Amino acid sequence: MTGYIFPNELEVNWGLFIVLYPYLTGLVAGAFIVSSLYHVFGVEKLKPVSRLALLAALAVLLVAPMALTSHLGQPLRALNMLWTPNPTSAMAGFGYIYSFYLIIVLLEIWFMYRKDLVQWAAEKPGWVGKMYNLLTLGAKDISPSALQTDHKVVGILAIVGIPSAAFLHGYVGFIFGAIKANPWWSTPLMPVIFLLSAIVSGIALLIIVYAASCLLRRREMDFHCLMTMNKYLWVFLIFAFVLEVLEVIHMAYEAEKKWSAVKGLITQVLPFSYFGIQLGGMLAAFFLLLAGRWKKISQSIARNLTLAAGGLVLASVLAMRFNVVIGGQLISKSLKGYAVFHVPLWEEGIIPAAGFLILPFVLLVGLVYLLPPWLDSQPEKKRRRGFERNPHRQEHGSIFKRLFPFGEH
């Protein structure tokens, strides 16, 4: 500890599990937004990752509440807020928001794969075929009119899912922002900051997952799809970075009593985590994404720059969650001291937290094996020689169309 803190502030109650909870829910929201850009806004270049995005969202969605309920000590107690709801409790609202959003994702995946499930049930032998037959739920009509209805339902579910995804993660920021007694949390910008950082982390995750899937399958990445994700990540990253900086600038400009405590937190207690990883990672990712779309570089360099930017974004958003959740608890109510957080190895420590970060990828591998998301057969990766020009930069049109290619075919 440093300075003066009260005796009941020596222990940090919300540890790494609570850090991972908003981080994982953010990945869900961001991945779903990518899928919705194709199904709702008609961004055809995102078609190769439209199904993969939904499967990734489902895999992370299944793991997100595990970190939260594990923090409770007795996870079954979390059901009490569903059996005895309190309509005035923001925390109790998570159970309903999460359940509704999970239903939306499951329904969208089922309608999207229904034709494939029927075909696989007829083609696959043995227990595999029986499993797919069970997943059809008895709906085996794959006539053109039925498939057209499925397509419309998928679009409707995607439209409903967009505000649901925003509520799922925006409410986490709302909970922190509504705690008036904490100077680091109490700001009306908190829900928006959480939502925008969720979108950028989800897009970054999908970039990494798409690249890894192509590498493992020995297939070429769709370069235009990758560059489209590059564009959207770059645009949303601008808004996320600006709002995070404006939040601190606004506190400094107001120069209230709480500013001295916040200033000490980010400059003395968390300087590397805040300036080095959170803000520095976002700035570095911004320039890497911009450099990846430079017309004079090769496709391989553009891909590597985009992947590096995706990794930096994931790290910076994780640091942002840590700085908010842990940093807010380090400030004393006296505003004249700071507690110390020691990261444990077990309990709510590094090893179980790493397990929660790895588990979504394990589930995603199983989902991809069960429901292959690949829409077309891509050629096997070949060794290339010489310098490849970046064809993405040969497109023409307004700056708005380049940044927001809605409806492009």
Spatial distance between the Cα atoms of 329 and 295, rounded to a whole number of angstroms: 47
| Residue-level pLDDT at 145 | 93
Per-residue pLDDT of the chain (409 residues; tens, 9 = 90+): 676 777 777 788 888 999 999 999 889 988 888 888 898 888 889 999 999 999 999 999 999 888 888 888 777 777 777 778 777 777 777 778 888 999 999 999 999 999 999 999 998 888 989 999 999 998 888 999 999 999 999 999 999 988 888 888 788 888 888 888 888 988 888 889 999 999 999 999 999 999 999 999 888 899 999 999 999 999 999 999 999 999 999 889 887 888 888 999 999 999 999 999 999 999 999 999 999 998 888 999 999 999 999 999 999 999 999 999 999 999 988 888 888 888 888 888 899 999 999 999 999 999 999 999 986 544 455 444 443 445 444 444 444 444 444 444 3
Q: What pLDDT, on a 0 to 100 scale, did the predictor assign at position 403?
A: 42
Residue by residue, what is the 3-state secondary structure of 144-157?
HHHHHHHHHHHHHH
The reported pLDDT for the residue numbered 402 is: 44
> What are 55's two structure tokens?
């499967």
Amino acid at 375: L
- CA atoms of 241 and 288, how far apart (whole Å): 15
In angstroms, the CA 234 to CA 53 distance is 18
SS (H, E, C) 309-337: HHHHHHHHHHHHHHHHHHHHHHECCCCEE
Phi, psi of 336 (to 5 degrees): -130, 15
Instruction: Look at residue 374 in the predicted model and tell me its pLDDT.
Output: 84
CA 336/CA 6 separation, integer angstroms: 10
Which of 287, 329, 277 is closest to 308 using CA atoms?
A: 287
- Walk me through the domains of the chain, giving residue ranges and CATH numbers: 6-372 (1.20.1630.10)
